[in-house]
Amino acid sequence: MMTNAAARARRGLAPRWAARLALVVGAAAVVVLLLFAGLRSLLLVAVALAGLVIAAAGVWWALARTGPARALAVLLACAAPIAVVVLYAVAGLLWVALGSLALWMLAVTCGRAALAGVRGPATARERSVAAPRRPFLIMNPRSGGGKVGAFHLEEKAKALGAQVVVLDPDHRQDVAALARRAADEGADLLGVAGGDGTQALVAGVAAERGLPFLVISAGTRNHFALDLGLDRDDPSRCLDALTDGVELRIDLGCIGDRIFVNNASFGAYATIVQSPAYRDDKARTALQLLPDLLTHHSGPRLTVRARGTATVIEAPQAVLVSNNPYGTDDPAGLGRRERLDSGVLGVLGIKVDNAAQAAGMLRGKHSPGLASLTAQDVVVDADAPSVPVGVDGEALVLPTPVHCRIEPRALRVRVPRHRPGVTRARPPMNWRRVGQLARTMGRTAVGHHHG
């Protein structure tokens, strides 16, 4: 039988060889350029970078301008990458560039796989709990295009002993009041089948009363359910938590006296969603309002301060304050949170005032136009008595200054014991760390094995 030390050694082999493969393939990408393009390889790289910068500037002008200027900017953004490809083809180096690019992408993929293989667990600690005796569930029949009816959630929940209230689509109801009344009458679990905004309202009541909370992924996007590792394709699977569930302790975000489970947005996006025309034509409304918002000709001027730090974000066009930080190093990971129990808010501020700064956004988290930080308390102020805010998808207007804070481990969440789990975002690429893994992990694993 394999010992624990031997098992750890075996697990260490995969990241080590992935790191070595990343270094070999990365070197091959460089060799292909130098071998087949010689000194022209430097020109290949310079032309590609120039094309990216011009395309990024074109996108900025397209968003920040109107009329003929916007049309020319769109043309520029599309023409830049095409021109790069044409130049490569005329020089007879297109296949070299594509081959080197493919090798480099493979090297980065292997490097990230190696780094991901040595990360620690990200999920919140779970504990086994007894099944609830009097669960109370609120269901919105309109959420997610009618998932409550399509998956027969009401019938399945009642069969498991839950009391269910299905909201009347034609009359607005106070879901927080419904949840408080149920708690007063002896409910020992509160749950929601609906969107994230409704989830947040009832989660606040559950935290206030110290009751477990059940998330049923019946909304449209189900961001909260995604970050809890729940099944978003079949919301009825969430009901398994009523019979075979485990409990997680997670954080809650607070904006004023309101709870949010995902985020609160300020600035351009929050202003756009306030427009009455937004729901009927999102794209056109955004394109009409963005130029003035991005150039500071309209909308409040924001100032963001993280308490306990000297960090101040002045005049950002957009700010996102999230219940735990979102991933920013990987575009595929943006919008995902690996943890919901880190005890801090995530803050993202975007400030782009010209095309040069827009091009600088290609540097990702290192861009001067992107501010990323964490804090337990954040204050968003403005040169106006109130500001539009999007809170878990709900459009609000709040008086300034707006105070956001984190309530660590405030919510008891009941989830099924068997669930898909959280899909972790890829770690940022770090060639130095990859090199260290390739050189040292083998010796470390062998040392553990013989020890």
**Residue whose tokens read 């049923």:** 216
Long-range own/partner contacts, residues 231-235 (CB < 8 A, 24 or more apart): 231/419, 231/420, 234/151, 235/144, 235/147, 235/151, 235/153, 235/193
pLDDT by residue for the chain (451 residues), tens digit each? 444 444 444 455 688 888 899 999 999 999 998 888 887 888 888 999 999 999 989 998 888 888 899 999 999 999 999 999 998 898 888 998 999 999 999 999 999 888 877 765 556 688 899 999 999 999 999 988 899 999 999 999 999 999 999 998 888 889 999 999 999 999 999 999 998 889 999 999 999 999 999 999 998 888 899 999 999 899 999 999 999 999 999 999 999 889 999 999 998 888 887 777 766 676 777 777 778 777 777 788 999 999 877 788 898 988 999 999 987 655 444 567 888 999 999 998 888 887 777 777 777 667 777 888 899 999 999 999 999 999 988 889 999 999 999 999 999 999 999 988 776 666 778 888 988 888 875 444 434 444 4
Residue spans of beta strands (DSSP E) within 309-369: 312-314, 318-323, 345-350
Residue with tokens 């094309």: 51
- Please tell me the distance from the alpha carbon of residue 192 to that of residue 414, in angstroms, as a whole number: 12
| CB atoms near residue 255 (< 10 Å) | 22
CA dist., res. 224 & res. 203, Å (int): 11
Rounded to two decimals, what is the model's pTM? 0.82
Q: How far is CA 444 from CA 9, 23, 110, 435, in A?
A: 8, 19, 20, 14
| 263 strand-pairing partners | 322
C-beta separation of 407 from 251 below 8 A:
yes
pLDDT at 293: 73
> Cβ contacts of residue 58 below 8 Å, gap of 6+?
73, 74, 75, 76, 77, 78, 80
What is the sign, positive or negative, of the torsion defined by CA atoms of 187, 191, 194, 196? Answer: positive
Q: How many Å apart are CA 261 and CA 264, to the nearest integer?
A: 9
DSSP state, 217? Answer: -
Q: Which two tokens stand for residue 92?
A: 């007879």
- Please tell me the distance from the alpha carbon of residue 235 to that of residue 217, in angstroms, as a whole number: 5
Are 324 and 376 a contacting pair, CB within 8 Å? no
Q: How far apart are CA 29 and CA 23, in angstroms?
A: 10
